[in-house]
Amino acid sequence: MGEVELMETSDFFEGRQGQEGEPMTPLAQRNPDLCTACEAPPDARCLQAEINEAALCSLILDLHDGLVQNLFAAFSQVHSLRQAIAREGAGTETSSLDRHLRRIGELIEASLQEIRSFVGAFGPEELGEQDLGAMVEGLAMQREDLSGIPIQVEVAEDLPPVSLPVKIALYRILQEALSNAYRHAQARHQWVRLFQANGSLHLEVTDDGQGFNPEEVLGPGPTKGSHLGLRGMRDRVRMLGGEFGVESRPGQGTTIRVRIPL
């Protein structure tokens, strides 16, 4: 397929032209289940206000001080075991044991890395000042390095300050959307747009990969297998009283749209 064309801001959740020139009805109308246009749980926005940023801050510190130290200790144990095995010599049993230990070590390292980037993005000193646009650009650059897929980022200059829960939700959603495009789409390009319009903050993540049928993943019914990423994105947006939509078809690329009221 060709590249997915990015839509005009004002057309975001309104009727507009589709990728192949057909008129498009609003996302919510086309697929109410997928769009999950949060019929604003009446107190969803209060919920956002109630989330205590100080508690979040302390949770992030606990993650760092507790989990990181434990993971690091576990990693050292694995390292010592591998050294002991190396001293024993390489029998079939020991080399299979070493393979498993190496894998465990890699998983622990990946978890340490993940916590470090999260704490790096939301550490106490960044809490107040962390600029949303810079956070999005930084994460996209990090993913571009990891995946080798070029990511074009467009961040509006007039973004308002947002609360920590909103920042964390956007960070996680972007992380998952970019990771999905890398893992499932065989995309050649990705696009990220962040802007405000009509009293809301909008995040759009597009790839030109193989696409899929979102209804199979987000439609009613139990989650198939362990696919939690898209449902998690949708739940995060719901919690903030916003709207979440996925546009994708096999062979047609994918666009994730998020709108969060300001």
Residues of this chain that bind ligand ATP (CB under 6 A): 180-181, 183-185, 207, 209-212, 217, 226-230, 254
Tell the smallest beta-carbon distance from residue 39 to ligand ATP (Å).
23
Among 36, 180, 190, 248, indicate the residue that binds Mg ion (CB under 5 A). Answer: 180
Question: From CA 194, how far away is CA 177, in angstroms rounded?
Answer: 14
Distance in angstroms (rounded) separating the CA atoms of residues 180 and 178: 5
CB of 165 or CB of 229, closer to ligand ATP: 229
Smaller CB separation from Mg ion, 130 or 254: 254
Minimum gap (Å) between residue 227 Cβ and Mg ion? 7
Binders of Mg ion among residues 138 to 177 (CB under 5 A) are none
CB of 173 to ligand ATP, least distance (A): 11
Q: How far is the CB of 27 from ligand ATP (least distance, A)?
A: 16
Residue (of 139, 235, 229) closest to 192 by Cα position: 139
CB 108 within 8 A of CB 144: no
**β-sheet bridge partners, residue 67:** none
Taking the least distance from each CB to ligand ATP, the nearer of 179 and 200 is: 179
**Least CB distance from residue 26 to ligand ATP, whole Å?**
22
For residues 190 and 150, give the distance between their C-alpha atoms in angstroms, rounded to a whole number. 6
Total residues contacting Mg ion (rule CB under 5 A)? 2
Identify what 168 binds: Mg ion, ligand ATP, none; CB under 5 to 8 Å per kind: none
Host H or E run for residue 113 = helix 92-122
- Per the rule left: phi > 0, alpha: psi between -120 and 50, beta: everything else, 149 is beta
**Cα-based angle 204, 158, 15 (whole degrees, multiple of 5):** 40
Does 229 bind Mg ion (CB under 5 A)? Our answer is yes
- 82: partner contacted, choices ligand ATP, Mg ion, none (Cβ within 5-8 A by kind): none
User: Among all residues, whose Cβ is closest to Mg ion?
Assistant: 229
24 HSE (CA, 13 A, CB side): 17
Residues forming the site for Mg ion (CB under 5 A) = 180, 229
